[in-house]
Structure 1
């Protein structure tokens, strides 16, 4: 989009464009008036009134700039990234000790219940964010996770830990779809690269949980070759749940009790509440020690665009009807309202589908694989298993940070970085099948962790940028639901043992190749801050 010029801060109501033809208006604006990567005029394709108002709000946020409120939001939004990965990794870490204690022949069923909960959470919280608002979802997800994670520590059997895993994952599933949409709607254009940097929380959380697991599971877990595994000898996984549940509770308290969260002004604008949208913008300016010149009249002036039917989409009378229509799928249909937007939405969802199928087939079983392979190599103690898991996690942190830098390089951008990191992820997964010792297996997984965190950092930032603002929660939810559903399918493949031994490593590596091929030639837009 290098040829696109900056959108003016206010809408000229005397514009000579044909306002009765919304497609013509947006086609022209697609070449001239785009101010940010969220680019509503280019992608909406159907409602110029909403797109024009979104442009005014974009400029108002840009005028305020990056300040105290946005930096605080950056921190508490990072908690969502952290919890999303923390609980995925935690399930993989406790998989082996839980299976040994309860004598389960199919430990992958625990991962299956997790992915079912994640899929349900992505659907409920992600779609709900466009119906009852981002704020409620943002504040509640961590609380739900905390309650069920703490309860899971007392599970008397495998069935109960699986049920609690599904329930805490229901809370976890809403973090990424909601938090990314909310953060992007408050941050000015100049700092939208921070959406990629937020993935550093994702990597740091992996380091935290594996570090704690090394200390607890490495000392208070039955050995792999133990004949019997009693509860008293296997308390490590329960203490790990209590520790991480407590950490999640602290994050929830900081987010809900110590940070005054505002609802998205674009959410209010989309519901016909222009006065509330303007009030929120002025509150953000006040928190940042600045003033905003935005007025309700600036938004009302945008209603000169389009036909009367299109204008009614943003007035107060239609708010209740819009809510009912959103429940009927209007948010979904708007993601495919034009050829360009439909193609963009489809490609993003397809990428998430491939990754969702690959991830549980490999990443969810890394500690399990380290333990089993270590036993084969003659050094499979629980201490070494969780030490190696911690080392692998360390390499993910610089990968996520590097991703935030690479997306701003013109020759790479989002698509280039995503393409290169995805193919390297597949290559290193394939390479791990050649390992003949624990150290070589560790080395392959370290470089895998590094490049896969680059891939996730870019993809998590690119996804909400592509979707139009009003339907961003729904778009994020569809991507997350697809990803989680394919995660269920991936785990099911493992449960029914379609692949055994090293063969189970090859399918996820092959699935990374279409992920590489899709973004570079097919994605319709390259987005730069």
Structure 2
């Protein structure tokens, strides 16, 4: 054998070694993917909220790979920006509800309507339709469009509401502004959660602090405007109330509507949001999933081993490419595909229904009940009233912050809600003994704080335990249940007798039921990745 032949044999041997090495690498890769796909690898199924293997094994395997990639990338400045931008949506939802309640008295004095609670009905009706519309559409057309459009719609109608010539037109614009804002509690939690690594999912709970921050802005406007007779007429003399001497409530709409407009602009300029990777995965767009996550990793110099080959090796998901009029029903049915998931979905919707009734009734009945028993709970002047409102809402901001910390302890999400509901109930009973202004302010602050521990956790828990493909639909229906009860509370406030203590005790029982429901919920997200 000459030198040339020896060289060819050596080269052939090297190629065989390389080929065998590649084959062994491919075999290991196929084994790993098979383990994820069939649930045979214990490490693959560890730390997941639940398994979808029996329903859609390819989707289940791909979701685990995506969660691994998100956890590998970890927390970045992109997530910090999302925390703020999604927090803006929380603020908008709260702002619309608070603004209408803050200006209702002054607007009613000017327009003298026959139905004084009309704005409450309008706002909750708009929120109800918004939650269902934006929630359902986010699972069908994607999160991106709804995320970019909803706040802009709310801002425009909030500003236009300032020019309302009568009560009916004002109610219409309030409803339309509420429609735009009403889906943000669905979108914000969904978008933020679907980018978060598992060890940072507790931040979805703290996101509700933005909701508590929002009332400070209308209060900051109302405090000086409603204390100045040049901008707020005397509501006790409605016959002297005209547009010229009652412009304060209109300025509140303009100022806060402008704030929402700035927030909507920030959403499309600070972050050029792409569709979330988990939504793209449910649509069967594996290449876009990889491109999205690899892009974040590259921008922030983080590792990301996810490849298109890995996702494609898992197969084709069952739910991909199902389009048509029946898709909404597919998303609803997807929330009940197993007994455990069906129980979870039902208890979540029940929780939102209960808090949707108990929370407004507290504000509707308790002040009137206390007044009927001789309690002097009010402050002397408009300035003092809005000062107290500002203080109590400031205290309420820190409820979700505490809840976020509690969720990282052994209490987890469920028992954080249990504690929040029971402590709120205790303060609720104690509040019936209030007889002075100082006691009224103190207990109001305490209740704002503790109820936000429960509320903030429920906001986060809901999307965490819903499957990604149907998350926005399930979350939208949950919040819609809450809005329906808001309408019920407005109707009750219009016709009910507040001289009896019965509503007080009914609300207390509702908080006890909420605690029980939270305790028996089948999923605990602590330490697990959302699917």
Give the TM-score category using the shorter length: 0.7 to 0.9
- The partner residue of 2:253 within 241, 249, 274 is 241
> Which residue is equivalent to 1:127?
136
Inter-partner Cα distance in structure 2 for 1:114 and 1:212: 20
> Which residue is equivalent to 2:526?
528
SS at match of 1:329: helix
TM-score for the superposition, normalised by structure 1: 0.87
2:158 is equivalent to residue 149 of structure 1: yes
2:244 is equivalent to residue 232 of structure 1: yes
> Which residue is equivalent to 1:400?
400
> Which residue is equivalent to 1:452?
451
Inter-partner Cα distance in structure 2 for 1:297 and 1:357: 50
How far the C-alpha of 1:232 sits from its partner, in A, is 2.5
Shift in CA distance, 323/443, structure 1 to aligned 2, threshold 3 Å: same
Inter-partner Cα distance in structure 2 for 1:160 and 1:473: 31
Inter-partner Cα distance in structure 2 for 1:84 and 1:360: 15
> Which residue is equivalent to 1:6?
none
- Asked if the contact 1:430–1:509 (Cα under 8 Å) also holds between the matched residues in 2, the reply is yes
Inter-partner Cα distance in structure 1 for 2:109 and 2:434: 26
Inter-partner Cα distance in structure 2 for 1:422 and 1:391: 22
- The partner residue of 1:93 within 102, 111, 115 is 102
Shift in CA distance, 436/370, structure 1 to aligned 2, threshold 3 Å: closer
Inter-partner Cα distance in structure 2 for 1:80 and 1:16: 40
Inter-partner Cα distance in structure 2 for 1:136 and 1:330: 21
The 5 Å alignment of 1:55-134 reads 55-134=64-143
How far the C-alpha of 1:451 sits from its partner, in A, is 0.4
Shift in CA distance, 160/86, structure 1 to aligned 2, threshold 3 Å: same
Inter-partner Cα distance in structure 2 for 1:381 and 1:160: 31
How far the C-alpha of 1:221 sits from its partner, in A, is 2.3
Shift in CA distance, 402/256, structure 1 to aligned 2, threshold 3 Å: same
How far the C-alpha of 1:215 sits from its partner, in A, is 2.3
> Which residue is equivalent to 1:414?
413
> Which residue is equivalent to 1:382?
382
Unaligned runs of 5+ in 2: 1-27
- Asked if the contact 2:56–2:317 (Cα under 8 Å) also holds between the matched residues in 1, the reply is no
Shift in CA distance, 235/371, structure 1 to aligned 2, threshold 3 Å: farther
- Asked if the contact 1:374–1:380 (Cα under 8 Å) also holds between the matched residues in 2, the reply is no
Inter-partner Cα distance in structure 1 for 2:355 and 2:79: 30
- Asked if the contact 1:343–1:524 (Cα under 8 Å) also holds between the matched residues in 2, the reply is yes
- Asked if the contact 2:33–2:310 (Cα under 8 Å) also holds between the matched residues in 1, the reply is no
- Say which is worse superposed, 460-469 or 81-90, in terms of deviation: 81-90
Inter-partner Cα distance in structure 2 for 1:80 and 1:190: 23
Q: 1:467-498 CA distances to partner (integer Å, 9 max, x unpaired)?
A: 01111111111111111122222222222335
Inter-partner Cα distance in structure 1 for 2:303 and 2:180: 37
SS at match of 1:225: coil
> Which residue is equivalent to 2:284?
272
Shift in CA distance, 61/328, structure 1 to aligned 2, threshold 3 Å: closer
Inter-partner Cα distance in structure 2 for 1:343 and 1:509: 25
- Say which is worse superposed, 216-225 or 159-168, in terms of deviation: 216-225
- Say which is worse superposed, 222-231 or 345-354, in terms of deviation: 222-231
Shift in CA distance, 33/282, structure 1 to aligned 2, threshold 3 Å: closer
- Asked if the contact 1:367–1:386 (Cα under 8 Å) also holds between the matched residues in 2, the reply is no
Unaligned runs of 5+ in 1: 1-8, 20-24, 304-310
> Which residue is equivalent to 2:168?
159
Inter-partner Cα distance in structure 2 for 1:516 and 1:372: 30
- Asked if the contact 1:370–1:438 (Cα under 8 Å) also holds between the matched residues in 2, the reply is no
Q: 1:12-44 CA distances to partner (integer Å, 9 max, x unpaired)?
A: 467479x8xxxxx67x88x8644556x2526x7
Shift in CA distance, 148/201, structure 1 to aligned 2, threshold 3 Å: same
Larger Rg: 2
Q: 1:75-96 CA distances to partner (integer Å, 9 max, x unpaired)?
A: 1111111112222222221122
TM-score for the superposition, normalised by structure 2: 0.87
Inter-partner Cα distance in structure 1 for 2:82 and 2:378: 48
> Once superposed, what is the RMSD of the aligned Cα atoms?
2.8
Q: 1:188-209 CA distances to partner (integer Å, 9 max, x unpaired)?
A: 1121111111111111222233
Shift in CA distance, 445/422, structure 1 to aligned 2, threshold 3 Å: same
SS at match of 1:130: helix
- Asked if the contact 1:69–1:287 (Cα under 8 Å) also holds between the matched residues in 2, the reply is no
